[in-house]
Structure 1
Amino acid sequence: MTGIPASAAGGSSAARGAASTPGASGATGRPGAKPAKGQAGASVAKSVSRPDGPDALGGSGPADGQEGARPARGGKLTAAAVNQASVWNVANLLTMLRLFLVPGFVALMLADGGYDPAWRSLAWAAFAIAMITDLFDGHLARTYNLVTDFGKIADPIADKAIMGAALICLSWLGDLPWWVTAVILGRELGITLLRFLVIRYGVIPASRGGKLKTLTQGVAVGMYVLALTGWLATLRFWVMAVAIVLTVVTGLDYVRQAIVLRRRGIAERRVAAEEAER
């Protein structure tokens, strides 16, 4: 149709067919009249240009005034499967390896009374592997976006488990005073609890001193695990002394950061509440 009224066509069959077509509305407002060519072209252009049109992305989009298309029946199950599969990444596997090494390390450490140099060397190898994986799993998780809720919980547990097992075994065998074990483990568990207490106000980042403390502790404990004698035994004593000093100093610094973070968070919440009341 070119927009000429149907009556002008002398009652042609085309006009009669247009009038009998149900559900159509023409430009003149009469029910059953076909749209003009210009209007039909505009309708086609609209359906093509709309992102939710029937041909958008090869699917059928929602019509005007209708709700969005329902997701596929298995969509949620698929998303859940992807989330579960993401837990099994390299970083988390290294963390789990470190957890599995803890009972093996204890068995090697206490084998044959705990004083056999050969068994102590194997125990040192297990401890060294655990410390090395501790250095790599966090780096891999942050670099390749492999951070998961499981890793956030399991990684600090694995760190404390292998270090705590080594310290307790050494004190049990009489190679290390119990007060050293108490200071190191008390600091580690206390700071971990403190992080959870102030997490509502923010995260306490790991400082360079804390990283140096972890490295020094690992070296010192590793030297005590080995059956060293002579000047190496004297050297490990001083390395452990440095580790204890760093443990105490960094622990106090974390306490200071937690106090500042809590005060700042409380102040920000108070200001936000006052602005909301205005």
Structure 2
Amino acid sequence: MTRDERRVVSPWNIANVLTVLRLVLVPFFVVCLFLPGTGWRLAALALFGVASITDHLDGELARRYGLITDFGKIADPIADKALTGAALVSLSILGELPWWVTIVIVGRELGITLLRLLLIRHAVIPASYGGKVKTVLQIAAIVLYILPVDIDPLRWTVMGAALVVTVGTGADYVIRAIKLRKVARQARGE
């Protein structure tokens, strides 16, 4: 590809706008979650739903229309972690989700994010299918916890599945990172 054929992608594109929108929605979601009454709980659910949809949509648009930017590569995972982390911490503060669940999931997410930052100069490990399943299960579990109805067995089951996949994909990511680091060292002749 020649220099003239390369297209400069502005960070001000629809994919990045959706990512920023997700970040902006997080505090409004949290406030609605803490306000009393079914109406506020449903408002929190709606905000969480819209924010979760932008998570899928921004990546899809970026890939389909070539809108991938350095800003998006950094902001998208931050927005994802902010949304799920805020939801889990809020539900634990409200006494609706055990703290140990929040600590395991948030700890895994922070650990993998830190690992990604450490590896970024060597290579980017693409999201695995398991990572996509993890995200869907976490969102589904959080939605079930936000719903203002008593469906505990279903909540526990989906959150349990989310926990298992979260820990499993975290371990898989660490293994892939170790292999990548080893290959990078071998390429440098270390």
On whether the aligned pair clears a TM of 0.5, the verdict is yes
Indicate if the aligned counterparts of 1:187 and 1:248 stay in contact, CA closer than 8 A. Answer: yes
1:188 partnered with 2:109: yes
Aligned counterparts, 1:162-241, within 5 A:
162-229=83-150, 232-241=151-160
Equivalent runs, 1:121-200 vs 2, <5 Å? 121-200=42-121
Matched-pair contact (CA < 8 Å) for 1:117–1:226: no
- Whole-Å Cα distance in 1 between the matches of residues 176 and 186 of structure 2? 15
Post-superposition CA distance 1:73-123 (Å, at most 9, x none): xxxxxxxxx96x8222110111111011011001100113xxx22211110
Letter in structure 2 aligned against 1:259: I
Equivalent AA in structure 2 for residue 97 of structure 1: L
Deviation of 1:199 after TM superposition, in Å, equals 2.3
Match in the other structure for 1:247: 166
Does the aligned pair in 2 maintain the 1:105–1:126 contact within 8 Å? yes
**How many Å apart are 1:153 and its aligned residue?**
1.5
Deviations 1:1-21 (A, max 9, x none): xxxxxxxxxxxxxxxxxxxxx
> How far did residue 233 of structure 1 move?
2.4
The normalised TM-score by structure 1 is 0.64
CA contact (8 A) 1:105 1:127 kept: yes
| Distance across 1 between alignment mates of 2:47 and 2:166 | 23
Structure 1: 5+ residue stretches without partners: 1-81, 272-278
1:225 CA drift (Å): 0.9
Residue in structure 2 matched with residue 256 of structure 1 by the alignment: 175
- Answering whether residue 15 of structure 2 is matched by residue 91 of structure 1, we say yes
Match of 2:41 among 120, 134, 144: 120
Separation in 2 of the partners of 1:197 and 1:152?
14
Q: Could you give the per-residue CA deviations for residues 181-207 of structure 1, whole angstroms, max 9, x where no partner exists? A: 000000011001111212233221111
Q: Please identify the structure whose Cα radius of gyration is greater.
A: 1
Select the structure with the greater relative contact order (CA < 8 A; seq sep ≥ 6): 2
Shift of 1:218: 0.3
**Percent identity for Structure 1 against Structure 2:** 58
Q: Structure 2: which 5+ residue stretches go unaligned?
A: 1-6
Root-mean-square deviation (Å): 1.5
Give, in whole Å, the separation in 2 of the partners of 1:191 and 1:154. 15
